[in-house]
Structure 1
Amino acid sequence: MNTASKTVTSLALVSALALSACAGENGEEAEEQNDSDQNAAAEDTGADEAEGAADADDDADAEGEDDMDPSEREQQEAGGAEPRVAVTYDGGAAVLDGVSLDVIDEFDADGFLRINEAGDGRHAFLTEGSSFRLLDAGTWGEPHGEHNHYYTTEPYLSDVTVDGDTPAHVVSHDGIGTLFFDGTGEYRSFDLAELDVEAESLETESYESEGEHHGVAVVLEDGSRFETLEDRSGARFLDADGEEMDRNENCPGVHGEAAGPEGVIAVGCEDGVLVWDGEQFEKHDTGEDYSRIGNLFPSEGSPIFLGDYRTDQDGEEPMTEVALVNTESGDISTVNVDSPYNFRNLQRGPDGEALVLTEDGQLHIIDPETGEHLEHIDVIDEWTEPEDWQEPRPAIRAHDDLVYVTDPDSQEIHLLDLTEGEVITTAEFDFEPNEIIVIDGRPVGGVSSDYDEDHEDDDHAHDDDDHDHDEDHDDDDHGHDDDGHDHDHEDDHDH
């Protein structure tokens, strides 16, 4: 659980997320009340009997939580979208409040765990063993005329799974999600609007790629689909009837799917980037013999993708340059960040800025158009990437002008406000955070028929005087992750 945190209030944070800390306060009051009750019982019956009673109550509460029907959860209407953060660690996963970083709930799970946004603004998939397991983060928005209504409830890790051999990539486009299984090359698509932890199962449609490989597939709303090739030499595109429309085998080591405007789908190669422009494939070369771009990070409406950039084929030298890929012009430029980074250290800012966390502890903010360094912000202490890709290492996730930075060495997560240029919340945990995602709680196009992107940010107004973080939370010992699909487990493990 969250054991300590420090909060500095940001005006930008107050206006956007003013109501978010309330649930954490109520939980803290309940804990204090329980402590008082147990102290009173100890005075009346003796410390040993009180301790035994408390243990029994804890066991009963845990059993009740495990047996809880998700339909029994209470929901509360919120004044605006309330992001939540999901993070994995050795032995489980936790859902945190997106502002205070308080632990809302924790779930036990075995083995190495991965976490991916489902794509509907509410759910995630926990990759556990041979399954994608559905997690409800408990925050969501519903369109209502010219504005949205927002709600929260308790998170819930369900028994709804999609099973297969070596689950890997999770992607979503146009209201359709796709799950890829490396062990067979099979992929399963589903309607994002059908995600429901109260259901007995998730209805999916199954497809077969050309064979077993570490790959990715994208199923679009009209039934057409993009898929990587079995030998990882490139990709192909098929129409809704399964007829191959185009194919490109000039992308060795294909990896790192990301979507851009106007139907663009891009993947990285060992010598450039392969782009599907909606009608055909086009290859953009770096001009170097080996220059692997293994992961791509898009920004809404921008043709420019941020990518990692490795020039050492043996993987012994760290990456110190990032790639900026213009899919319209075909230009690929590089920017030196002067310090090593890895595949979990890249994100995009609210205006498309390239965000890079490096091993010197700095967050680099780069203009994607010019490659100019706009700012450097000290966030964490210096660190070194572990040799095993499954071992925790600092990771970042961006949500609007907020950036979440994990620090496994100190067992902390930092919340950075790009507007203020400083860390505004730091929370300490009793686990080492590993993978992290942000569920923003907003309606998503293609999921709701009432969705209107003209009003996607048109939240109900709320009075800052009633929810003043400066007065209510500055002295608290607590304060209340544009998806590039960077899911890595092979090669240099930037899967």
Structure 2
Amino acid sequence: MRIAGGYGVALAGTAGALLLAGCGAGAERTADNEEATPHGYVEGAEETAEPQWRLVMAETDSGALRMLDPVTEEVSEVGEVPGVREATTDGRFVYLGTGTTATVFDSGTWTVDHGDHAHYYRAESDLVGQTDAGGGLRVAKDSAITALISDGGASVLDRGALEDDGEITEVASVDGAAALALGERLLVAGAEGAEAVRVLDREGGQAKAGIDQDCPDPEGQASTGRGAVFGCSDGALVVTEDGGEFSAERVPYPDDTEPVRSLDHRPTTPVLAGENSDGEVWVLDIAEEAWTRIDTDGPALAVSAAGERMPVLVLGEDGALSSHDPESGEEIARTELIEPPDGDAPKPRVWIDTSRAYVNDPVGRVVHEIDYNDDLRVARTFELDFRPDLMVETGW
């Protein structure tokens, strides 16, 4: 692999500067011993002072699976997934779908939020195994469960078994078009014959708490620090939890606006971006309970939002990357970046972390690292020996 562009190694944001060893009140004690263990620790993992970002990429023709460490610039061969055509991640595990199955890959990097600080971990990567799943793969998780959602419904997996033992154990199968985890419960929208959003327990049974709100034709979902968000045909439904009680607020679309088809953002941040069927890019600010239209030259290949008072990134069909003010929608910067994908090839993605954005270019066989706070400066270009058709970022 040859690296083109800038010579500096991208470092994590200010949150990564915290040294978290010991963790004070955040440490937990096991029942078998009195030694404090860091919050979220998994046996065999190493706690680090900074986030451990990784880019996991797959080539659809060969099924080749690779992982890039942006700090060391090392690309590792980590397996093959024949027939892979989509990928999604929960921050640690990557789920690679074929349309009938999902292969689970443990990237070995993750973050555990602990209120006023976070814990960062790294461990050995591993191909965990395979489970049944349809197309349109998405994932939602909390500390106890992982919900793998596809066009066949949601499969609820035991999170502890996955993290600690590398075992894929299904604890429930749930009917629904969208699902999110919140407050130790599973929120499900779009179940056949059920208009209201359902609140389920970890085994898929009806919980005592409920939500008196519906979500017609759910399409798009996101977990944020301000609540769970479902994209519905009449707007976004933002669900919050307090002391076991759930409430929901609807943020309707402006008049004559088509629904967005996805909600993309830097993980946990409360500003989301998506494109609708008219080729318009819209931004949802949860705190302001408002939608803002982004002024673009045409339809987009990919969009994502960096966070509150931070840029929204739009990768246009012409291969140009632009950044926009999330409040006014106006363009801030633009750069010609990639060759547009051909035919029915998977669309590139824009993945944003605390200091950089990454854009995969399958045609050019490269991944671009972008400093989105510096007029979209291309910090580095990673040249690869395969097509990075699919890409996700882990370590969050």
TM-score, length basis structure 2: 0.75
Cα distance in structure 1, aligned partners of 2:266 and 2:90: 18
Name 1:365's counterpart in structure 2: 323
Name 1:274's counterpart in structure 2: 237
Shift of 1:335: 1.6
Cα distance in structure 1, aligned partners of 2:193 and 2:295: 28
Cα distance in structure 2, aligned partners of 1:230 and 1:271: 17
Tell me if 1:401 matches 2:355: yes
Cα distance in structure 2, aligned partners of 1:169 and 1:219: 12
Cα distance in structure 1, aligned partners of 2:179 and 2:113: 30
Shift of 1:140: 4.9
Which of 174, 177, 187 pairs up with 2:155?
187
Q: 1:272 to 1:387 in 2, by over 3 A?
A: farther
The more displaced of 399-408 and 295-304 is 295-304
Q: 1:207 to 1:219 in 2, by over 3 A?
A: farther
Question: 8 Å contact 1:12–1:419 — kept in the other structure?
Answer: no
Shift of 1:286: 2.1
Cα distance in structure 2, aligned partners of 1:238 and 1:322: 31
Cα distance in structure 2, aligned partners of 1:373 and 1:232: 43
Name 2:138's counterpart in structure 1: 169
Question: 8 Å contact 2:218–2:231 — kept in the other structure?
Answer: yes
Question: 8 Å contact 1:171–1:177 — kept in the other structure?
Answer: yes
**Which residue type is aligned with residue 422 of structure 1?**
R
Cα distance in structure 2, aligned partners of 1:295 and 1:437: 16
Q: 1:162 to 1:406 in 2, by over 3 A?
A: same
Q: 1:233 to 1:304 in 2, by over 3 A?
A: farther
SS at match of 1:112: coil
Please give the per-residue CA displacement for 1:130-168, whole angstroms capped at 9, x wherever unaligned: 333221223356899x98575454x32233x33355572
Cα distance in structure 2, aligned partners of 1:143 and 1:345: 25
Alignment of 1:381-392 (within 5 A): 381=339, 383=340, 386=342, 388=344, 391-392=345-346
Name 2:272's counterpart in structure 1: 305
Cα distance in structure 1, aligned partners of 2:386 and 2:9: 30
Shift of 1:79: 6.6
**Which residue type is aligned with residue 423 of structure 1?**
V
Name 2:88's counterpart in structure 1: 116
SS at match of 2:389: coil
Shift of 1:202: 2.6
Name 2:102's counterpart in structure 1: 132
Cα distance in structure 2, aligned partners of 1:96 and 1:350: 28
Which of 175, 178, 194 pairs up with 1:209?
175
- Answer with 1 or 2: which has the greater Rg: 1
Cα distance in structure 1, aligned partners of 2:188 and 2:154: 10
Question: 8 Å contact 1:260–1:299 — kept in the other structure?
Answer: no
Q: 1:297 to 1:118 in 2, by over 3 A?
A: closer
Question: 8 Å contact 2:104–2:127 — kept in the other structure?
Answer: yes
Question: 8 Å contact 2:271–2:308 — kept in the other structure?
Answer: no
Tell me if 1:380 matches 2:338: yes
Q: 1:111 to 1:247 in 2, by over 3 A?
A: farther
Please give the per-residue CA displacement for 1:335-365, whole angstroms capped at 9, x wherever unaligned: 21113213x3334258642111113333222
Q: 1:360 to 1:231 in 2, by over 3 A?
A: same
Cα distance in structure 1, aligned partners of 2:214 and 2:112: 43
Question: 8 Å contact 1:226–1:236 — kept in the other structure?
Answer: yes
Name 1:434's counterpart in structure 2: 389
Q: List runs of 5+ in structure 2 lacking aligned partners.
A: 17-43
Name 1:322's counterpart in structure 2: 281
Query: Which gives a bigger RCO, structure 1 or 2 (Cα 8 Å, sep 6+)?
Result: 1
Shift of 1:437: 0.8
Q: List runs of 5+ in structure 1 lacking aligned partners.
A: 19-73, 312-318, 443-495
Please give the per-residue CA displacement for 1:160-198, whole angstroms capped at 9, x wherever unaligned: x33355572211245532112423x3431432x442485
Cα distance in structure 2, aligned partners of 1:412 and 1:345: 19
Which of 42, 63, 81 pairs up with 2:51?
81
Question: 8 Å contact 2:235–2:259 — kept in the other structure?
Answer: yes
Question: 8 Å contact 1:361–1:378 — kept in the other structure?
Answer: yes
Name 1:255's counterpart in structure 2: 219
Name 1:246's counterpart in structure 2: 211
Question: 8 Å contact 2:109–2:123 — kept in the other structure?
Answer: yes
Cα distance in structure 1, aligned partners of 2:259 and 2:163: 38
Q: 1:76 to 1:324 in 2, by over 3 A?
A: closer
Higher relative strand content: 2
Cα distance in structure 2, aligned partners of 1:168 and 1:15: 30
Shift of 1:334: 0.8
Alignment of 1:437-456 (within 5 A): 437-440=392-395
Question: 8 Å contact 1:364–1:377 — kept in the other structure?
Answer: yes
SS at match of 1:225: strand
Question: 8 Å contact 1:302–1:352 — kept in the other structure?
Answer: no
Cα distance in structure 2, aligned partners of 1:142 and 1:268: 26
Name 1:10's counterpart in structure 2: 8
**Which residue type is aligned with residue 114 of structure 1?**
E
SS at match of 1:195: helix
Question: 8 Å contact 1:96–1:105 — kept in the other structure?
Answer: no
Alignment of 1:90-101 (within 5 A): 90=60, 91-92=62-63, 93-99=65-71, 101=73
Cα distance in structure 2, aligned partners of 1:108 and 1:5: 24
Tell me if 1:295 matches 2:262: yes
